[in-house]
């Protein structure tokens, strides 16, 4: 085989595929194929993020605004409450909704106040407070490598209040529900991918719930609101 034929054969083997593509006008070029893929991706609508559901256990320490009334009756103005709640995150960007319920109960005694002196009557008394929260808020951009998230919000508060005593008349016992509001803010930490923990501060306003008679009338305290510090731990889907 002559040198000319060898060189010609090598040229055909090297350039043959490109020559075939060049001779096929219907075959798209690499640039055309890439451009078509980019256009298709741009035209595809973005996938919406699904809302995230989660539930949590909560423990509240509440400093009641009617501090003198609670000090006189149960010996403290700070009530401990336990309960639970649930939230839906990602309704729209940082928007979330929540519902939570807690119960706090303290044992005390019926008293009278005379010349600013609290006189126990020796009649055992149980005071129960049951706040139900329905609210919404906004979660801010995470920080600390995405492990910490701040949030704030507010909502409606339905607060049940009960006084029970073994030796009381029906007029002495109280079982009523009042409506108020709450604002809150907190900081949440992601412990693992599905477990969260956080601390939150709430300010609650429940006006015109007390003050019609008894100790609260003496002190001129009418509200069942207060300031709450909440610890929570929860799981998410």
Residues 78 and 195 in one domain: yes
* 105, two tokens: 């109960």
The three-class DSSP label of residue 21 is helix
Residues 69 and 90 in one domain: yes
Q: Tell me the pLDDT band of 21, cut-offs 50, 70 and 90.
A: very low
How many domains does the chain contain in total? 2
Residues 71 and 35 in one domain: no
Residues 11 and 63 in one domain: no
What is the pLDDT averaged over residues 137-156? 96
DSSP label of 209? S
pLDDT at res. 197: 97
Residues 65 and 131 in one domain: yes
Residues 128 and 36 in one domain: no
The three-class DSSP label of residue 82 is strand
Q: CB of 231 within 8 A of CB of 58?
A: yes
DSSP string, 127-172: EEEEEEEEEEEEE---BTTTTEEEEEEEEEEEEEEEEE-TT--TTT
Residues 124 and 203 in one domain: yes
Q: For residue 117, give its domain range.
A: 52-236
* Number of H-type helices and E-type strands within the chain: 4, 8
What is the pLDDT averaged over residues 127-156? 97
90 conformational bin, left if phi > 0, alpha if psi -120 to 50, beta if neither: left
Residues 134 and 222 in one domain: yes
Residues 11 and 100 in one domain: no
Residues 99 and 8 in one domain: no
Q: CB of 169 within 8 A of CB of 124?
A: no
Residues 86 and 202 in one domain: yes
Taking 60 as the threshold, does the pLDDT of residue 137 lie above it? yes
CATH assignment of the domain containing 152: 2.40.160.20
Residues 38 and 66 in one domain: no
Q: What is the pTM of this model?
A: 0.78
């Amino acid at each position: 085989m002559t040198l000319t034929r060898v060189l010609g054969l090598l040229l055909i083997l090297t350039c043959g595929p490109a020559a075939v593509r060049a001779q096929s006008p219907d075959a798209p070029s690499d640039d055309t194929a890439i451009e078509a893929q980019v256009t298709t991706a741009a035209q595809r609508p973005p996938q919406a993020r699904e809302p995230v559901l989660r539930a949590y256990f909560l423990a509240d320490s509440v400093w009641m605004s009617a501090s003198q009334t609670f000090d006189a009756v149960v010996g403290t103005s700070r009530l401990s409450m336990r309960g639970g709640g649930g939230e839906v995150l990602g309704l729209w960007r940082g928007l979330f909704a929540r519902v939570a319920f807690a119960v706090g109960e303290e044992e005390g005694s019926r008293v009278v106040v005379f010349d600013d002196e609290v006189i126990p009557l020796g009649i055992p008394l149980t005071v129960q407070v049951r706040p139900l929260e329905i609210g919404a808020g906004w979660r801010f951009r995470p920080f600390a490598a995405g492990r910490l998230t701040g949030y704030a919000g507010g909502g409606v508060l339905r607060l049940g209040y009960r006084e029970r005593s073994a030796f009381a008349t029906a007029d002495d016992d109280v079982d009523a529900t009042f409506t108020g509001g709450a604002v809150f803010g907190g900081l949440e930490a992601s412990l693992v991918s599905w477990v969260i923990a956080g601390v939150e501060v709430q300010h609650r306003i429940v006006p015109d719930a007390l003050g019609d008679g008894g100790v609260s009338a003496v002190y001129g305290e009418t509200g069942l609101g207060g300031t709450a510090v909440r610890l929570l731990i929860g799981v998410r889907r």
